[in-house]
Chain A
């Protein structure tokens, strides 16, 4: 456990360089996959799909060309762990990609880097070139005949939706970042119709650690369904914001103690698409896939902050970032935002608010991808827990009306 963005104490810093790759190079591909499966590692971008399964499905596909895509399109509000990982431990991510390549039989890997992190482009290019010079990328890696793998970088262009794996692939292919129907999943039909795995930066960085320290080490930490450590991006009203390495399954209360958020009124877990936890539930809500899944975004809301203001910020974000492909998301987020504006003006009836909540639930079911399915979360949880604060507002203009 570490405090703040003190990366020297992270597990990542304790793993010997290339030790995971050395072990992987001696294992058969199916043995690598079974080690990852045994560790219980699940996708660290937030969705939590078991990494071992994803790799297995892809490895089973026939095809000469397969791809490993590193999802570095970290767009969720309040998340910045991937930026820190790519800055401090780029070799670990590249090592993880190389291991993934060996596991599924891919010869090509791509880092999809968000345009906002363009300043990392040259740095990462250099690290990749150094690895080529050391024989850790390219042909016959570590002197093993036929172990060929190389990594390229693609730059995004400022679209949150491209963090969704099929939208990311669409974007790499030169299209608008609109999510595809699934199935077929990318493990079957991915980049240029080839089998492709898309993994988060953090997921890939854990892989060498797991191989180096062994699957049981990872599986011992956390809860039944959520194994291992997780990196949390903590921001908002806390004493020491930063990236923290903490075990999965930690309660909101324990997390707040670590980061120094004693007076918090609420915590937004999972960014704009996550849920808002009120202070009364800090001790019972766990940060784990069985309770509240998160990509790592923790925004602490101190006393005196206006919940409606935050909600409006999130909904403006979703209205802008919805790709517009499916109606529940495209229209629904606009309606929810209008509702928040009515609440701010103190002009929303309880009946209409209930209707909006019902709309939110419809969006969760009917939207095509994770964006629309999760965008009403903040709205629904804030309405549920903070009715007293958001109803019957008297704003400045309205109060003048009353004065007359």
Chain B
């Protein structure tokens, strides 16, 4: 059946609200799921979520803009978050940062034009004893060195190209949607 993008999203949010409830406390779990699929939470998505939870859309915007793991603008399929806190920093975090920028061709806060990678700073990710630490979506990398950056990035690229990622259950690495899905 052909469905418009908006109708599809509305249907998905309706299903999520069935699972998590129509209560305000369901907001964060629903937003997590939307972000997992669409790599950001669009204005329309915020409106729809607000409708189903019976709150004002600006309340949803307030929440999305507050949390650093929720995004108003599209992010890459892999969000790379490098820890910037002092323990990782003194183990060579800044050099890893430089090499990430070199290998991805973007600065921190940016997304590659092909939509594959976003590069961000994270505050302490709790890997201080094995730094520098880095998160890629929900995967964690420790003892990252400038030399290892290339292998990690290439490994991620291969994962994308193979279309072999397991279909994601809740909160795992986002699944890859096939390109020929009908969207009007």
Interface residues, chain A, with chain B CB atoms under 8 Å away = 5, 74-80, 82-83, 114-119, 121-122, 154-160, 171-177, 192, 233-237, 241-243, 268, 271-272, 299, 305, 310, 313-314, 316-317, 320-321, 323
Contact = CB atoms under 8 A, between A and B. Distances in A.
Nearest to B120: A158
A interface secondary structure, majority: mixed
Nearest to B124: A77
Contacts of A155: 28-29, 32, 171
Contact of B26 (A174, A192, A235, A321): A174
Contacts of A122: 169, 171-172
A115 B29 CA distance: 12
Interface stretch (B81-89, B95-103, B111-119, B151-159): B81-89
Contact of A76 (B29, B124, B127, B171): B124
B108 to A, nearest CB: 13
A174 to B, nearest CB: 3
Interface of B: 23-29, 31-32, 53, 62-63, 66-70, 84-87, 89-90, 122-131, 135, 138-140, 169, 171-172
Contact of B129 (A118, A160, A173, A235): A235
7 contacts: A80-B128, A80-B129, A83-B126, A115-B69, A116-B122, A313-B84, A316-B84
A241 B132 CA distance: 13
B123 A160 contact: yes
Contacts of A173: 24-25
Given A80-B128, A157-B69, A174-B25, A236 B123 contact: no
Contacts of A74: 126
Contacts of A157: 28, 31-32, 67-70
B67 A177 contact: yes
Contacts of A119: 138-140
Nearest to B139: A119
A158 B69 contact: yes
The 8 closest A-B pairs by CB, nearest first: A174-B27, A157-B67, A158-B69, A235-B128, A118-B138, A241-B129, A158-B68, A235-B87
Nearest to A121: B171
Contacts, number: 124
A54 B36 CA distance: 37
B171 A118 contact: yes
Given A236-B87, A317-B123, 14 more contacts: A5-B129, A77-B123, A79-B128, A80-B129, A114-B126, A157-B32, A157-B67, A158-B122, A173-B24, A174-B63, A235-B129, A236-B90, A314-B86, A317-B85
Nearest to B23: A174
Contacts of B125: 116
Nearest to B138: A118
Contacts of B84: 313, 316
Contacts of B130: 241
Given A118-B138, A235-B128, A310 B86 contact: yes
B69 to A, nearest CB: 4
Contact of B123 (A5, A75, A174): A75
A11 B124 CA distance: 27
A241 B123 contact: no
Contacts of B53: 174
A299 B87 contact: yes
Contacts of B90: 236-237, 305
Contacts of B29: 154-155
Task: Count chain A CB atoms within 10 A of each CB in B31, B53, B69 and give the residue with the most.
Answer: B69
B180 to A, nearest CB: 30
B73 to A, nearest CB: 16
